[in-house]
Amino acid sequence: MPNGDVTKGELLYEGKAKKIYVTSDPALLWAEFKDDATAFDGDKKGTIVNKGVYNVALSEAMFKLLDEKGVPTHYVDTLSDRELLVRRLDIHPVEIVVRNVSAGSVCKRYGIDKGITFDEPIIEYFLKNDELHDPMLNRQHVTVLGYAPADALEVMEKYALAVNEILSEYMLARGVRLVDFKLEFGSADGKVYLGDEITPDTCRLWDAETGEVFDKDRFRHDMGEVEDHYAAVVKLLTEG
């Protein structure tokens, strides 16, 4: 897609981690990644210094890998170390979580221990709605309540499992275990694309040998050395 002449327009939307601007091309958006960090529906607020830079670097690398392997993403170009040019999508307001290992809300909800490797990946759906605290959905909620059409949901599930296989293999080869992650999808021109970001904010990433935590759980649970761990895991996953 040609983008040499694209210029930044008005702020369209400011989320917790990104500012999204329109551009001179109606099919493209300008995403600026912030250092702001929130957890627990925004109850906990803070800053992870240079998070925007780490998150752009990892998202770029993962989106390029996925595009190459046949999962279409909204990534178009990298504009600076904190800014991506992305395809404008009609976002389906469904967060798809894929889990390989138990951690986080699945432990709390079902009273299970952390660190159990599942026999097969578990897919969960949540409504993207802060006011309602992102309630969990089943497939019928998604389609019957109109959050995504059945054909798009099918494609989203297929891509979510493909993302899991591609990223799990890529990361494990670099010493990192992909424990779980959250994806968002949208449609453009009748086609489904992976949107949002792939970062230590949206994935749980553990050292494959030691179990050391490299992701946003360090911020959520005051584990310390957050920036160092973001820097380290992004280096591992973007170099070599």
Interacting residues with ligand TMP (CB under 6 A): 97, 104-106, 180-182, 201-204
Segment contacting ligand ASP (CB under 6 A): 39-47, 188-196, 206-214, 228-236? 39-47
Does residue 188 contact residue 95 with C-beta atoms inside 8 Å?
no
Q: Which residue is nearest to ligand ASP (CB)?
A: 38
Site string for ligand ASP, 116-155 (x = CB under 6 A): ----------------------------------------
Residues 6+ apart with CB under 8 A from 12: 20, 21, 22, 29
Q: Can you tell me the distance from the alpha carbon of 104 to that of 196, in angstroms, rounded to the nearest whole number?
A: 21
Q: Pick the closest to residue 203 from 154, 149, 167, 157 (CA basis).
A: 167
Q: Using CB atoms within 10 Å of the CB of residue 73, give its burial: 0 to 12 exposed, 13 to 18 middle, 19+ buried.
A: buried
User: What does 16 bind: ligand TMP, ligand ASP, none (CB cut-off 5 to 8 Å by kind)?
Assistant: ligand ASP
Q: Which does 75 bind (CB under 5 to 8 A by kind): ligand TMP, ligand ASP, none?
A: none
Residue 34 interacts with ligand ASP (CB under 6 A): yes or no = no
Rounded to a whole number of angstroms, the minimum distance from the CB of residue 73 to ligand TMP is: 16
Burial class (CB in 10 A: 0-12, 13-18, 19+), 233: buried
Shortest Cβ 24–ligand ASP spacing (Å): 31
Among 6, 23, 38, 163, binds ligand ASP (CB under 6 A): 38
For the beta carbon of residue 168, count every other beta carbon within 10 angstroms: 18
Closest chain position to ligand TMP (CB): 104
**C-alpha distances in Å from residue 139, one per residue of 16, 96, 125, 143, 149:** 27, 11, 8, 6, 10
How far is it between the farthest Cα atoms of the chain?
A: 53
Nearer to ligand ASP, 9 or 104 (CB): 104
Closest distance of CB 181 from ligand TMP, Å: 5
**Is residue 42 at the binding interface for ligand ASP, with CB under 6 A as the rule?**
yes
Residue 87 or 182 with smaller CB distance to ligand TMP: 182
> Under the rule (CB under 6 A), what is the footprint of ligand ASP?
16, 38-42, 216, 220
